[in-house]
Structure 1
Amino acid sequence: MRAIICEQVDQLRLVEQEEPVLQPGTAVVRIRRIGICGTDLHAYKGNQPFFSYPRVLGHELAGIVEQVDDQQGKIKAGDQVSIIPYMHCGTCIACRNGKTNCCTDMKVLGVHIDGGMRELVVVPTTHLLVTNDLTLDQSAVLEPLSIGAHAVRRAELRAGETVLVFGSGPIGLGVMAFAKHRGARVIAMDIQEERLAFCKQWAKADETVNAREGAAAKISELTDGDFPTVVFDATGSARSMSDAFSFVAHGGKLVYVGLVKAELSFNDPEFHKREMTLMGSRNATIEDFSAVQEAVRSGSIDVASFITHRVPFAEMINHFDSWLKPESKVIKAIVEL
């Protein structure tokens, strides 16, 4: 079978691999859609934590079950599925407390272990979500949208709160969309005007702010000097993540959804006087996937306009570098098999 390997920084290669063999409690899934994520792009450029080379990338995955060993009979051959790519141990303190998304021995497909940028994968049936009610495209983007949904759930966001989201990539857009679902007033911040326009169009952001144009004064004006009660940073930028502290209301929360391979620092008096809550939000759980599936099924989330670029599997390597460039205007790229 064909697979694409990231052999080292800036190097992808199409190779032939042996087909996987069905194991007890697993399914062999033929991959039909692969979403390209910031994680894949960061790994390609050598900026992804928890990563080693060579690695088969790909963790935003949708496909069709070809073989299955499911004692509960919930999944059958021919089912369309979305893959939950977070392989947790099930026994650590996080898993025992239902926080499988931050397992102490987490193995994420395409990061810690080989992912789904290949024709066939073997996945535990516990990590498959049947999506016969969705399209393949919709199934493939459940994962990135679930990360945003999880961040909003973790923040315990209440209707009527004003939130600020740094970064308008796919994860930030998901945060905005699900914050709006919770009834929040959403302010989007980015450095690209076209991205900010997309935030209003797709995520229904109430206000947008260019981070390069007096952002602090603008946010103060929009909130009558109160500043947002919840700030989400989905940039993956160390500078942005440090600057975000100064945008949080007194008594508010700062939620890091993005991840950066760097040390972060902040001014403790500013942090302390606000009695600020600093939170990390990692991955997502089956509950988040199910919530996103329902939102997509109901039409609340528009996947068609979320996906802006599309290529066949055999041509992906030729396009990968271009997706890193701002002028390509990528929101979400999908690879088809």
Structure 2
Amino acid sequence: MTLTGQLLIEAEWDGRGVPVARARNSRPPAARLLVGRTVDEALARVPALFALCGRAQALTAQAAVAAARGEATPDEAARTAAERAIAAEAAQEHLWRLLLDWPALFGIEPRRGRFAELHRQLARVAGNDADGAREVGGQILDLVAAELLAGFFTVAREPSSLAEFASRARRGGSVGAALGDLLEMGSYAPPRGMATLLPCLGAADWAAVLAGVPNADFCRAPTWQGLPAETGALARHQDSMLVRLLVERGHPVAARLFAAVVDLSDWASRLRHPLAEDMPAVLEAAPLGEGAGLARCETARGVLIHAVRVEGDTVAEYAIVAPTEWNFHPAGAFALEGSGWQAPDLDSAHRHLSALVLGLNPCVPFEVRFMEARHA
């Protein structure tokens, strides 16, 4: 059984803008289906529960159980294989958004053929297939340099204005055209600001913060230092000069799209050179008290956490904290940026709100519905 659910975006339109937008996430909690099962049954069940990121979910579950049992850290070959598998899956997820969803949002022909070709190659990458991983990783890096970010590789200096940024973006094929269209929609400074960007923490840090298997309420609406936070490509690349420029100039949605392209490059590099010393580990685990363990995995959409407590051979507690629950927290990134802005017409409002959702990259299908504002 696969648990999918849907993200329903309900927005009010008052003829001038969107005073209120709400996100309703109907995905049922998967962790409760693992409690009471044997460890082997639970581990076998995990990848079948998730339509997306199945490799990352399975490997994170295995790492959390190993930490709970006090097993030795995997050797370099096992860690290399895990990172390749996660990187291949993350690259697939980014390519889906970048070559299909983002262009379609702006009426640009999606790159279906190119996506299908790369998707097939990535699906064939196995953990021990170093040659295949290097080959497809190189193709993705070429795609980024020659098409997606072509305008930023051909000029040495940084763009001096947003107009120049948009002009360079449009030299980069369908994704660049979508980025240019986003910028030309106008700046948008969220009236209530942006959510905190989640820092890159290791498994031991998360174990110290959580101090035990988190409860269902935390998993549904996780917080960092008591506040909602955003995870994903923007958080990982918040220090990139061009990403920061877009945020500072009032284009957080465009910043997320640009950060996703940069992030795709990183995953392609991990395919070619897993466990690189200049990049943080993709998957880590740490003990979480007696009989308990935690694993932290970076995915295309952001940080994924599994925490488990075992009693003998039985799963006594299990928790999964997924990226979608961070970014669509009731008071989080979407809640802050989805409400209180103006648009010239309903079509523009729909496009803007859909772009925000795409930028926050949920791991479930989403639908945007508009209704007349209650107090127009």
The verdict on a shared fold, with TM-score over 0.5 as the criterion, is no
TM-score by length of 1: 0.27
TM-score by length of 2: 0.25
Normalized per residue, the structure richer in helix is 2
Higher relative contact order (CA 8 A, sep 6+): 2
Normalized per residue, the structure richer in strand is 1
